[in-house]
Structure 1
Amino acid sequence: MQVVLREVHDSDLPVFYRQMNDPEALRMAAFTSEDPADRDAFDALWKRIRSNEVARTILAAGDVVGSAAVYGAPGEREVTYWVDRAYWGRGVATAALHALLTEVAERPLYARTAADNEGSRRVLEKCGFQVSAQARGFANARGQEIDELVLTLER
């Protein structure tokens, strides 16, 4: 399956909103906005991301299947991605993250994932990230504090 990145279009946002409100995906991601169903907050977040950060739409076989971005202050920049659950386990997230990392040469880059999110951890490690720290944080999607991994890409 061919995976490519492109600039985010306004027409992608309703798709992202639907994807980011999938209950199973929310639970897996764990660290989400306080209220993912708040469309005004979602729109404000994406307006900020699109104006200040590197944000891309993930296309698989021509369909919008998710998003990938690099955000944050210099020296503390993080990657994030979201892939529609229908495409999990098919290499889409790994291909998209690899493409994003090719586009963004800045290092180090960081990523965070729930410690029990093995799929996300595998994606990050396949792209060269290594676990650099463990933490605990409040996971809005789970309503409790959980273990979190911090991963770093040095080069």
Structure 2
Amino acid sequence: MEYSHNDAELIQQPIGYWSWAAYKAVVDRTRAALAGIGTTQPQWWVLAQVARADTARTRDEVSRLLRNYLDTGSDTMESEIDSTITRGWITEDSEGRLTITAEGRAFYDKAAALQDELWAERHAGVSDEEYVTTLKVLQRFIHNTGGRAWHQ
């Protein structure tokens, strides 16, 4: 890979631009790949939360957990939960508990395999040590600017 600048020039580059450019590239690629198999990124989040849960999660729990992720918003998450129900991937009981269906499990497995492929694509040529260092540096930037990340 050829880099845009040498090290002396990179030290002068704005983190805001490069973190945004990385975010945009990763999110655009992920969303396009998920669209290619017929889903949206928020629908994937809903499906993953329900499929991976040890006990049934309620609609409110899933919506509350995901509504601020990537600035999605509560209205969008409610709509995306409804879409996963309409598609037959999850069901909702009278108490709002969400359960994955057989069709949902099959689709989840397909989408999870795609996510694994995307992970490998993104991490090509990046060591685990470099990845961890990158995340620690980004967390330090968030802390230093008074920000708060979703996972904190």
Calculate the TM-score normalised by the size of structure 2. 0.27
Calculate the TM-score normalised by the size of structure 1. 0.26
Greater C-alpha Rg: 2
Q: Which has the higher contact order (CA 8 A, sep 6+)?
A: 1
